[in-house]
């Protein structure tokens, strides 16, 4: 589970240890196909993502819920592979005001520590609403990368060519 390490009136910081390399985690943030798999918090059933992944480029993430859809837009502020990504985040959940999300990736014993900071919220209740969403997104990202690794890495027994007994 993602750990919330700070939640103030206008800022949220959470941390998640992900069993993948920084390059793999960073790539997931730059791939709209991948985002469709893990950018689904709460009761979101599916996500559509369109991204122009460059500093100054824009993105649109449409999260489709059971009863309501949630549209998110923004512009990439910093892209520093494989360690940092920063972008504005504008949605109904931010009162359509530009907030700032920064994703930092650090190597930790063969895994990646993701630190996500979302700041410039218009009010404390908006911070609370995003806390569960970002936590679930971080958890789903880790699950997605773990599934992807299992698909691309054959099981150890198959690699060793073991015979049934």
Q: If you count DSSP H runs as helices and E runs as strands, how many of each does the chain have, helices first? A: 4, 8
Beta bridge partners of 106: 113
Determine how β-strand 3-7 pairs with β-strand 44-51: unpaired
Tell me whether residue 164 is in a domain. no
CATH number of the domain residue 24 falls in = 3.30.530.20
Domain tally for the chain?
Answer: 1
pLDDT of residue 148: 85
Gap between the Cα atoms of 86 and 98, Å rounded: 13
Residue 95 CA neighbour count, 13 Å, CB half: 10
pLDDT at 4: 94
The tens-digit pLDDT sequence of the chain (165 residues) is: 899 999 999 999 999 999 999 999 999 999 999 999 999 998 999 999 999 999 999 999 999 999 999 999 999 999 999 999 999 999 999 999 999 999 999 999 999 999 999 999 999 999 999 999 999 999 999 999 999 887 755 554 444 444 444
Task: Give the range of the structural domain holding residue 129, as residue numbers without chain letter.
Answer: 3-150
In a domain, 8, yes or no: yes
Q: Is residue 155 part of a domain?
A: no
Judge whether 161 lies within some domain.
no
Q: Tokens 């007994």, residue?
A: 165
**Helix, strand, or coil (residue 25):** helix
* Edge-to-edge strand ranges of the sheet holding 99-108: 3-7, 11-18, 111-119, 99-108, 84-91, 69-80, 58-65, 44-51
d(CA 9, CA 37): 30
Using a 10 angstrom Cβ sphere, with 0-12 exposed, 13-18 middle and 19 or more buried, the burial of residue 41 is buried
Report the C-alpha gap between 18 and 113 in whole angstroms.
6
Question: Is 162 a domain residue?
Answer: no
């Amino acid at each position: 589970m993602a750990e919330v390490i700070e939640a103030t009136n206008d800022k949220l910081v959470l941390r998640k240890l992900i069993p993948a390399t920084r390059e793999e985690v960073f790539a997931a943030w730059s791939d709209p196909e991948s985002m469709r798999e893990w950018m689904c918090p709460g009761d979101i059933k599916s996500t559509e993502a369109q991204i122009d992944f460059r500093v100054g480029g824009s993105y649109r993430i449409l999260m489709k819920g059971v009863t309501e859809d949630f549209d998110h837009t923004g512009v990439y502020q910093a892209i520093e592979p494989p360690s940092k990504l920063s972008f504005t985040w504008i949605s109904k959940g931010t009162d359509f005001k530009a907030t700032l999300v920064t994703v930092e990736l650090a190597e930790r014993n063969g895994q990646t520590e993701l630190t996500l900071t979302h700041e410039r919220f218009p009010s404390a209740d908006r911070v609370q609403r995003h806390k569960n969403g970002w936590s679930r997104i971080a958890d789903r990202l880790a699950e997605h990368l773990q599934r992807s690794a299992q698909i691309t890495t054959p099981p150890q027994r198959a690699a060793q060519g073991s015979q049934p007994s």
